[in-house]
Chain A
Amino acid sequence: MSDKKIIPAPLANEGLPPDERGLFCDAAPREYEPARGIMEDFANWARSESLWILGFGTGCGAIELRPLMTSRFDMYRYGIQPRPTPRQSSVFVIGGYASVKTLKRIVRSYEQMMGPKFVVALGSCTINGGMYWDSYNTIKRIDQYIPVDVYITGCMPRPEALLAGFQELKKIIRAGRAEGQNEYARNFEWFKANQKKVIKDWNMPDYNW
């Protein structure tokens, strides 16, 4: 991969106590240029056929992942499987509404994932707040905080809709349009400002890495 991009300035990590700042990484994310031509196509094919979902049930959407993982809908046959650690996962399924407390963990888990990483947003709540539009504790739009590749509307979306969503995600990946990681790096300051606006007790590094 080409590393021509300028490496951004180190982050301040003001949320951390001064004596802990040295313990954490202060590098900001940077963009990665995709490989060219057939190499990238091949890589994208592999990425699309091996989707590892982060096992993090952020909201009620997690309940429809169960049937999907098990024998009735069996997502393994589409190359999709759950993975317990963000380091090894490539897909983050946002299961509906995200409370502020969970959003903090979502951001953290998302940043810990290795790129290219993809986000599938389940349910109405991720699009425009859903039925918790007037709640003091849930965000309305997940795309304010992390980049999203595919939205699946529904409350709850049926497992079939989820499968269809994953197929759509595969198409997007193969077409090379799932560049959420770069988008996040490009608009890092904007995303971070949005995150910090709602996460009032920011006591983690600016970029969890």
Chain B
Amino acid sequence: MEPTLLGRIGYAFLSLFVITNYGLLLIGSMARISAKVQGRVGQPVYQPYIDIIKSSVKRNAISHGIMFYLGPVFRLAGGVGTYMFIPAVFGSVVFRNFSDSGDLLLVMYFIFFGQLGMALGAGEGGHPYSAIGVSRGLAQMTAFEVPFALSVIAVAIQYGTLDINAIVGAQQGGFLNWTLFTNPLAVVAAIIAFLGMSMHNPFSVVIAPQEIPIGPPTEYQANLLGMLQTNRAIFNGAKLVLYMNLFFGGATNILVMVVKTFLIYFINVFVGQAFPRFRTDQSIRFFLGVPTLIGIASVIIAAV
């Protein structure tokens, strides 16, 4: 039974609510896992909630003009937008969101969109570290987009569609049908790009506190910061779901989604705890090197 448009909107809100909470808990639990590596106990899993509440109940906030406000708004829109066009659970009505044919293009666009919006807003902050962070962020994004885009192209070619639902559908019927096994090169390139996308070590130079006190969001505070934190949860969730759908066979129920996305996200932490961070030039050189070659190879494999 196909729900009405109103119903779809309601379901989308529910879906968004779930992914937000899941994203927050994911961040919380990953922080705890990182803490374990560092030999400590770590913050409570629910700490991100408190942080957001705290940020939202700040009594005053400063502004640097309208664009400054729009930064987090764009970013949040980017996060929500990304998620809204990905079917989180294959076959589920509730978690289908607004996915439709060609949604992969929209998603690719939205992934950029947030980052660009943020760049605009943060630039308004007037803080040199924001500016440096923005330029680093954009430069690095451009770099990791290359292998990422290549692997997405490979997937699109492989499945002959830009409909994520269709891509997931093509991977059903046993894990050997997953892109992971059908086009491993594309997955490798995408995963490496993913490390850059989620700004974990060694690609955390954008927000490196030791160099440019947390970069673009330097000037953001209060509810704007709360917005950014919320977005972080949604955006992470969206990217994870996208990766799961494109490369790991999607999910047929929410439990599978949780397990798969958790594991994908864990790759970040697994690598991030082991390495320091690259300089911007190094990370660009890195992305444009081996991962890009792998991406090209995956496209070629998919094409022939």
Residues of A within 8 A of B (CB): 1, 32, 42-43, 46-47, 49-50, 52, 55, 70-72, 74, 76-77, 79, 81, 83-85, 87-88, 90, 114-116, 181, 209
> How far, in whole Å, are A77 and B32 apart by their CA atoms in the complex?
9
Contact B57 A81 (CB under 8 A): no
Q: Which residue of the partner chain A has the closest CB to B214? A: A84
Q: A52 — which chain B residues lie within 8 A by C-beta?
A: 51
> How far, in whole Å, are A81 and B57 apart by their CA atoms in the complex?
18
Contact A46 B53 (CB under 8 A): yes
Contact B225 A88 (CB under 8 A): yes
> How far, in whole Å, are A46 and B48 apart by their CA atoms in the complex?
11
Closest Cβ–Cβ distance, residue B51 to chain A (whole Å): 5
Contact A50 B62 (CB under 8 A): no
Q: A49 — which chain B residues lie within 8 A by C-beta?
A: 50, 54
Q: Which residue of the partner chain A has the closest CB to B54? A: A50
Q: A70 — which chain B residues lie within 8 A by C-beta?
A: 38, 40
Contact B51 A76 (CB under 8 A): no
Q: A87 — which chain B residues lie within 8 A by C-beta?
A: 62, 218-221, 225
Please pick, from A43, A84, A209, the residue contacting B213 in the complex, using a CB distance under 8 A: A84
Contact A181 B59 (CB under 8 A): yes
Contact A77 B43 (CB under 8 A): yes
Contact B58 A85 (CB under 8 A): no
Chain B binding site: helix, strand, loop or mixed by DSSP?
A: loop
Contact A79 B218 (CB under 8 A): no
Given contacts A50-B50, A71-B35, 14 further A-B contacts (CB under 8 A): A32-B59, A46-B53, A47-B57, A50-B51, A74-B35, A76-B31, A77-B40, A83-B214, A84-B218, A87-B62, A87-B218, A88-B217, A88-B221, A114-B221
> How far, in whole Å, are A209 and B59 apart by their CA atoms in the complex?
14
Q: Which residue of the partner chain A has the closest CB to B207? A: A84
Please pick, from B41, B43, B60, the residue contacting A79 in the complex, using a CB distance under 8 A: B43
CB-CB contacts of B218-236 with A at 8 A, as 1s and 0s? 1111100100000000000
> How far, in whole Å, are A49 and B217 apart by their CA atoms in the complex?
22
Closest Cβ–Cβ distance, residue B280 to chain A (whole Å): 18
Q: Which residue of the partner chain B has the closest CB to A34? A: B59
Please pick, from A50, A71, A84, the residue contacting B38 in the complex, using a CB distance under 8 A: A71
Please pick, from B40, B61, B214, the residue contacting A85 in the complex, using a CB distance under 8 A: B214
Whether A90 touches B54, Cβ cut-off 8 Å, given contacts A74-B42, A79-B43, is yes
Please pick, from A55, A79, A84, A116, the residue contacting B58 in the complex, using a CB distance under 8 A: A116
Question: Ordered nearest first, which 4 A-B pairs have the shortest CB separation?
Answer: A84-B213, A71-B40, A50-B54, A46-B53
Contact B42 A76 (CB under 8 A): yes
Q: B220 — which chain A residues lie within 8 A by C-beta?
A: 87-88
Most B-side CB within 10 Å, residue of A1, A87, A90, A181: A87
Contact A74 B61 (CB under 8 A): no
Whether A47 touches B54, Cβ cut-off 8 Å, given contacts A1-B59, A32-B59, A85-B218, is yes
Contact B57 A46 (CB under 8 A): yes
Instruction: Report 18 cross-chain contacts, Cβ distance below 8 Å, ordered by A residue.
Output: A46-B50, A46-B53, A46-B57, A50-B47, A50-B53, A70-B40, A72-B40, A74-B40, A76-B41, A77-B41, A79-B47, A87-B62, A87-B221, A88-B214, A88-B225, A114-B58, A114-B61, A209-B62
